[in-house]
Amino acid sequence: MASVVERVTAARARLEAAGLAHDDAALDAEILARHALGWDRASFLADRRDPEPRGFEMTFDALVSRRARREPVSQIVGVREFWGLDFEVSSDVLTPRPETEIIVEEAIEFARDHPCRHIIDVGTGSGCLAVAIARELPAARVTAVDASAAALTIAQRNAARHAVAERITFLSGDLLEGSSGLADLIVSNPPYIPDAEALVLQPEVVQYEPRAALFGGPTGLEVIRRLFEQAVAHLADQGRLIVEFGFGQAGSIARLAEDTGWQVVRLREDLQGVPRTLVARPVPPRQRPEGDENG
């Protein structure tokens, strides 16, 4: 009888043969093994050299087969960690990424000096931003908007899982459609990948994640342009808009913001030093000179 670690080592080799990088294959093989066994990482490290339990080989092999077909490991196990919290995920929502945590950081930073009574999360997906921000800002009320009914169902379950459902209103709509009242803060991880990049994206992304949450039109900025145009009317005085964008889009996103009535406060870089998050505020209306009767 094989040991658990022997099965995991063989699975790693199989995943590498399917096109995964060595480190990714090793990590995913371990995650799938722990999922099949119901073990946490401490248990895995302590007991991995033990003989495999009865039934493990068949269960584990089925999971590895799915990963070898390039199904994302997060969808196989059904959860992904974000901001230290476990979120339910499926093919109906974008899998939360580490770089999106920058939005949460910026929201907390802004709230230190500005009361945030109402926050809108545009394109909430799994609800990771709405839930994480609601957990960090207990005085805030959050409106989470998404055009996908399936995504909203998952977001509602994630809000209940983390005990913030009573402070989040879930709204079906396109961008800010249907939102009422002014927000102190609007956050969004919108679709921003140019349509043509579907030809070169990893299978895990293009085959298994919702296209509407990924692709932002021919330039990737069409949805963000509409968001910029709509958000001005939904933001309170001194409010902020925080938006994620893609690799190489920093210059374009800054120009687009300025063209649609926003002043760029800053661009935040991810851990690789790549600009990925825009913080902006509405350009204040020009004051008319005294005695100007014609405006």
Calpha distance 155→165 (Å, rounded): 9
Both structure tokens of 146: 């998404």
pLDDT at 180: 86
| Token pair in block for residue 78 | 């059904």
**pLDDT on residue 177:** 87
Residue 252 near residue 260, CB atoms below 8 Å: no
Question: Hey, which residues does 252 pair with through a beta bridge?
Answer: none
User: How far is it, in rounded angstroms, from Cα 46 to Cα 43?
Assistant: 5
Q: What are phi and psi of 239, to 5 degrees?
A: -75, 175
The answer to whether 166 touches 144, Cβ cutoff 8 Å, is no
CATH H-level superfamily of 94-282: Vaccinia Virus protein VP39 (3.40.50.150)
The predicted pLDDT at position 292 comes to: 46
d(CA 230, CA 222): 13
Question: DSSP per residue over 192-226, as a string?
Answer: -B-GGGGGTS-HHHHTTS-HHHHB-SSSS-HHHHH
pLDDT at site 284: 80
Report DSSP letters for 94-123, one per residue. PPP-GGGHHHHHHHHHHHHHS--SEEEEES
φ/ψ of residue 264, rounded to 5: -75, 120
pLDDT of residue 289: 43
In the prediction, which pLDDT does 1 show? Answer: 81
**Bridging pattern class, strands 168-172 and 235-244:** unpaired
pLDDT of 167 reads 98
CB 194 within 8 A of CB 173: no
CA atoms within 13 A of residue 272's CA, in its CB half-sphere? 7
Among 226, 229, 212, 280, residue whose Cα is nearest residue 250: 280
pLDDT at res. 293: 45
Q: Give the Cβ contact number of residue 287 at 10 Å.
A: 7
112-170 per-position pLDDT tens digit: 999 999 999 999 999 999 999 999 999 999 999 999 999 999 999 999 999 999 999 99
What are the two backbone dihedrals, phi and then psi, of residue 34, each rounded to the nearest 5 degrees? Answer: -65, -35
Phi, psi of 279 (to 5 degrees): -115, 125
Residue 161 structure tokens: 């899982």
pLDDT by residue for the chain (295 residues), tens only, comes to: 899 999 999 999 999 999 999 999 999 999 999 999 999 999 999 999 999 999 999 999 999 999 999 999 999 999 999 999 999 999 999 999 999 999 999 999 999 999 999 999 999 999 999 999 999 999 999 999 999 999 999 999 999 999 999 999 999 999 998 888 899 999 999 999 999 999 999 999 999 999 999 999 999 999 999 999 999 999 998 999 999 999 999 999 999 999 999 999 999 999 999 999 999 999 986 533 454 444 4
pLDDT at position 181, please? 87
What's the CA gap between 143 and 214, in Å, rounded? 21
- Look up residue 156 and give its two tokens: 């509602």
Confidence (pLDDT) at 250? 97
| Cβ contacts of 58 within 8 Å, gap of 6 or more | none
